[in-house]
Amino acid sequence: MSAVTEVTPPAPAEETAPPSGGSARTRDRLRHGGLALWSVLALLYLFIPVFIVVLFSFNDNQGRFNFTWQGFTFRHWADPFADPDLAKALTNSVEIALISTAIATALGTFMAMALVRYRFRGRSTVDFFVFMPLSSPEVVLGAALLAMFLTLNINTGFVTVVIAHVMFTVSYVVVTVKARLEGMDRHIEEAAMDLGATEWTTFRKVTLPMIAPGVAAAAMLAAAISFDDYVITSFNAGQTQTFPLFIFGATRQGVPAEVNVLATMLLLGVLLLMAGNVLIQKSLARRDTMRAD
C-alpha cells in the first residue's frame, strides 16, 4: 500500500510547474511508479495465499476449523503425522510420484531420443499425440481413463493412479528432454561410435551424461505434477487416498492444521529444488559461454 502514497502525490505539484520538460518527466515518473505498483500487487496476489498457509500452520486453533487466528503455537509442528489418514495419504502421494516419475522419465527419455534421432513412419503422429495430454482438459483425460479401466474391468486404486500419472507426465518428460537433445551436436555421438563405442556404450558414456541436466529437470517436473494432481487422480483413485484428495476431502469437515504444516514443509522442499535447479542452469550457462569462446 505504501507504494500508492509514494507515487501519486508529487504528480499535481509538478504539473503546475512552468518548465516545458516538466510534464514529460512527470509522465515518466508516473509510468515507473505505476509499473512498480502493479508488480507489487501481482506478487502479493501470488504470495498472500502461500503466506497464509504458512502462517496458519502456527495457529493455536480450537476445534475442527483453522480459519481464524487464535494465537501462536508450535503444537502442530511437534507431530505433523498425528492423523493416520493424513500420513497414509502423504505416503501414497510420495510413492505414486516416485514410481510414476521413474517410469515416465525412462519412457519419455527414450521417446525423445527416437523422435529427435530417427526418421520413421508415423513420427509426426507420435509427436502430435505426445502433446495431446498437455493440451487436453484434465477432466476429459480423467474421465476417459476411468471409462477405459471400467471397460477392461480393472479395479481402480493405487496401480491405476500410477498408470494415469505416467500417461500425462510422460509428455512433459518428452518435451523437456527433446529440447536438450535438439541442442546437442549430433557429431558428438558419431565421434563416440567412430572411436569404437557401440550404440549402447555411446548412450551410457556420452548421450546420457550430456542430456542429464534435461533428464533431471524433466524428472523434477514430472514428480511435482504427479504429486499435486487432483482432477485425474480423483477419477482413478478408487479407495486410495492421495495428499491432494485428502486435503480436498478434509476441507468439507474442517482442515487440520497439520495440512498447513505439511504444505509448508513441501514448500520448503520445492524451494530447495528450485534453488538447486537455478545452480545447475547457471553452471550449464557458464559451460556454454566458455564453449562459445
Partner 1 sequence: MAATEAEADIHLDGVSKRFGDMTAVDDLTMSIPRGSFYAMLGPSGCGKTTTLRMIGGFEDPTAGKVYLGGSDVTQHPPYRRDVNTVFQSYALFPHLSVEKNVAFGLERKKVGKAEALKRAGEALELVQLSHVGKRKPAQLSGGQQQRVALARALVNRPRALLLDEPLGALDLRLRKQLQIELKRIQQDVGITFVHVTHDQEEAMSMADTIAVMNKGQIEQAGSATDLYERPRTAFVANFLGISNLIEAKVTGDQRVTTHDGAQLHAPECAGLTGDVRIGVRPEKITLLPDGEPVPDGYNALRGKVVVAAFLGVSIQYVIQAAGGEELNVFAQNTDGSEPEGLAVGREVQLVWRPEHTFVVERG
Helices (H) and strands (E) in the chain, counts: 14, 0
Compute the least distance from the CB of residue 205 to partner 1, in Å. 8
Question: Do 90 and 241 form a contact (C-beta atoms < 8 A)?
Answer: no
Question: Do 238 and 157 form a contact (C-beta atoms < 8 A)?
Answer: yes
**Which is it for the CA torsion 23, 28, 32, 35, positive or negative?**
positive
Nearer CB in complex with partner 1: 31/205: 205
Shortest CA distance to 263 belongs to which of 78, 89, 57?
57
Nearer CB in complex with partner 1: 33/213: 213
Nearer CB in complex with partner 1: 127/199: 199
92, three cell numbers: 501414497
Strand pairing partners for 72?
59
Nearer CB in complex with partner 1: 114/195: 195
Compute the least distance from the CB of residue 196 to partner 1, in Å. 4
Nearer CB in complex with partner 1: 4/188: 188
CA distance 85 to 66: 18
Compute the least distance from the CB of residue 198 to partner 1, in Å. 6
Compute the least distance from the CB of residue 288 to partner 1, in Å. 8
251, three cell numbers: 476441507
Compute the least distance from the CB of residue 197 to partner 1, in Å. 5
Q: What angle do CA 127, 131, 134 make, to 5 degrees?
A: 170
Nearer CB in complex with partner 1: 100/202: 202
Residues that bind partner 1 (CB under 8 A): 185, 187-188, 190-199, 201, 205-206, 209-210, 287, 290-291, 293
Strand pairing partners for 59?
72
Compute the least distance from the CB of residue 192 to partner 1, in Å. 7
Question: Do 142 and 235 form a contact (C-beta atoms < 8 A)?
Answer: yes
Residue with cell 522419465: 105
